Amino acid sequence: MTKREKILQALLLSLSSNSLGCPVFRGRVESFNRDELPAIVIVPVGEQNQLYGAVTNRCVFTVQIHLHARASDSSTAVETQADPLVEALHAKVLSIGGVPGLTDVARVEHIYSDYEFEDGDGTALLFKSEYHFHYLRPVGEA
């Protein structure tokens, strides 16, 4: 199993824990119904490699975490209602480096977050966070 797949599986396991209280998917392509929200989707973006020494690559694996949410009532903004879940999600992603089997992930770096409001009434939100996972890998290993 590649380090990329180990990272994705560790994210799925960590984010699927009951503490977040919402379903987690990898690469979901179907749209969500209102009653399925909030929901999290793990999206692998790509990997960059740079030769580091004669036999080692320095790798950066980019992953986006998408949080789909909908306001439960119109008296409070959807981003305010989603904020506790965003904070918990962020903490779980940043702790992935300490997961057994991923001890070779040197660091996890939060790159950016973005809010996209999906409905004209402002009650649906797609919150995207992008993370970089840094690690070393022998040249020639996938």
* Distance (Å, whole) CA 64 – CA 78: 20
Query: What's the whole-number mean pLDDT along residues 110-133?
Result: 85
Structural domains of the chain ordered from first start: 3-138 (3.30.70.1700)
What's residue 66's pLDDT? 93
The region of weakest confidence among 11-25, 34-48, 113-127 is 113-127
Does 19 or 38 have the greater pLDDT score? 38
3-state secondary structure of 88: helix
**N residues, the chain:** 142
pLDDT, tens digit (0-9, with 9 covering 90-100), for 27-70? 877 888 888 888 999 999 999 999 888 888 899 999 999 998 88
